[in-house]
Structure formats: C-alpha cells, structure tokens
Amino acid sequence: MQRLYKLGARRVLVTGTGPLGCVPAELAYYSRNGECAEELQLAASLFNPQLVQMIDQLNTGIGHIAFIAANTNQMNMDFISNPQAFGFTTSKIACCGQGPYNGVGLCTPVSNLCPNRDEYVFWDPFHPSERANRLIVQQILTGSNAYMHPMNLNTVMALDSRA
C-alpha cells in the first residue's frame, strides 16, 4: 500500500473481507441447517482486525490519514444475522444460482432466478445483491467507527474540502 502512496495516491479506501463462510456457495457445500462455515468465518474475523492495525501503522508512518479501512465483514454480517431488519427476506439463498441455497455454480441462463432481487442479500453464490451493495456504500459514506476506521468517507471529504 505504501507503493500507492509513493505513486501519488492520497486517500485509499481498503475493504476487508466479507463473510467468507456465510456466502451461499459455502452454505451449499458445508452447511446442514444454514449455519456459516466456522473455519472461513474465523479467517475473516482474524484478517479484518489485522487490516485495521496495518492501516493505523501506515497512517502513522506517513504522518496523516491516507488509508481508510471499511469493515465490510461486519456490514454483511448485519444483513446475515437479521435480514428482515434491512428489508431482506433471506440471507441464506442467492437470488441467482443452482443447487442448495442457489450456491452451486455461476448465475447463468439455466439458473434459478428469484422473483425480486431486492429481497435477497446475495445476488449469486458469492456476491451481495445490488441493494445490499447500496447499503454497504451508505455505511462507507456515513458509517460509525464500527464500520469505518479511522473515519467514514463523508468525514474524509469534509476534511479535504477544508484543505
């Protein structure tokens, strides 16, 4: 990341991993009752705090905030833990796919397709739906320190406009 700074980048948003063990693809292969794959979730829970630590070290070394971390794992886990609170009907089944949880293969013309993609957290076996992505972007812009470190994008833009 220091290479980016040396090349002239002054603000870099770095996203953490998503909920690796909770995507429909992993549910299709490892889940019996819709539970997330524990080992992959552990990997994500270890990586994201280390990302924040690295961001802090880089910013300290540079002497100002150039790198910002987005905790996309927590953003997605909020949807997965309580999809109805965000207007979704399911966080287990992909809108487009095949097999259990629509988690097998890619989204193709022969896939199962949901009637309303806005009700699904996941578009395909791996990726959030457009609506989920819009909610994630909203957190990147205005989210608290639980989601953005050391600050959200609106705060960064406000600081930059004063400079």
Q: What residues does 149 pair with on adjacent strands? A: 69
Q: For residue range 144-158, list pLDDT tens digits in order.
A: 999 999 999 999 999
Fold of 17-150: Rossmann fold (3.40.50)
Distance separating alpha carbons of residues 130 and 145, to the nearest angstrom: 24
Look up the pTM and report it: 0.90
Domain boundaries along the sequence of the chain = 17-150
Tokens 């292969």 correspond to 29
Q: For residue range 14-54, list pLDDT tens digits in order.
A: 999 999 999 999 999 999 899 999 999 999 889 989 999 99
